Amino acid sequence: STSTKPLRGAFILFEGGDRCGKTTQSESLVKHLHSKGVDAELWKFPDRQTAIGQMINAYLQGKTETDDAAVHLLFSANRWEKRDAMLAALSAGRTLVVDRYAYSGAAFTAAKGVPGLDLAWCKAPDSNLPAPDATIFLSITPEAAAKRGGYGSERYEKEEMQKGVARKFEQLKDATWHSVDASMSVEAVEAEVRRIADAALRSCEDGRPVQYLWL
């Protein structure tokens, strides 16, 4: 008997500081992929729906105080609890467009400057999670981001913190990384994003296997 293995979906990740336009661009990309008949879904981390996600949500909203290392591990656990579903979706041929992931995890905690919680420590718990096929980094200066109607009221949404986060992202660049100037028009950013996503989809069609962090 003959069996054809279904093509796997691509894992396309959006990363960036707060107010860089990730939500607009990730939603727009999913719509674009749907219009081309691609099976695609938008995922977001933290996933605030799970029990762990609710603890993270309370922390981000300032309703609870949690030890910096402990909350870092909660963000990581919130990805681990989605790992099986993620791998199942990809191997069923579904493309995942993901709004934040382990790079945000490492960049935000490392930017706090807590002794012991350096980038290597921050990356360790996410090691062996599925890795993105393409990471679209929406690059914007914290000053320009702050002008976009200002940051929200959640923890971390302060200009000083965002500057530190930008420096940490810089150190996390890897082979999947595509930096896009997010100060361009929405349409110009969309065009860049589609070009990167198309290339990622093609690499999966060409048989690129799922990769794992942080190899």
What residues make contact with ligand NYM under the rule CB under 6 A? 18, 45-46, 60, 75, 100, 104-105, 108, 156
Minimum distance, C-beta of residue 6 to ligand NYM, in the bound complex (Å): 29
* Dihedral-angle region of residue 98 (phi above 0 means left; psi in -120 to 50 means alpha; beta otherwise): beta
Nearer residue to ligand NYM within complex by CB, 156 or 177: 156
Give CA torsion, residues 160, 163, 164, 167, to 10 deg: -170
The answer to whether the beta carbons of residues 100 and 44 sit under 8 Å apart is yes
Nearer residue to ligand NYM within complex by CB, 108 or 137: 108
Minimum distance, C-beta of residue 78 to ligand NYM, in the bound complex (Å): 7
Minimum distance, C-beta of residue 50 to ligand NYM, in the bound complex (Å): 13
Give CA torsion, residues 109, 114, 116, 121, to 10 deg: 0
Nearer residue to ligand NYM within complex by CB, 13 or 33: 13
Minimum distance, C-beta of residue 198 to ligand NYM, in the bound complex (Å): 25
Nearer residue to ligand NYM within complex by CB, 60 or 97: 60
The C-alpha atoms of residue 180 and residue 167 are separated, in whole angstroms, by 16
SS3 (DSSP) at 153: coil
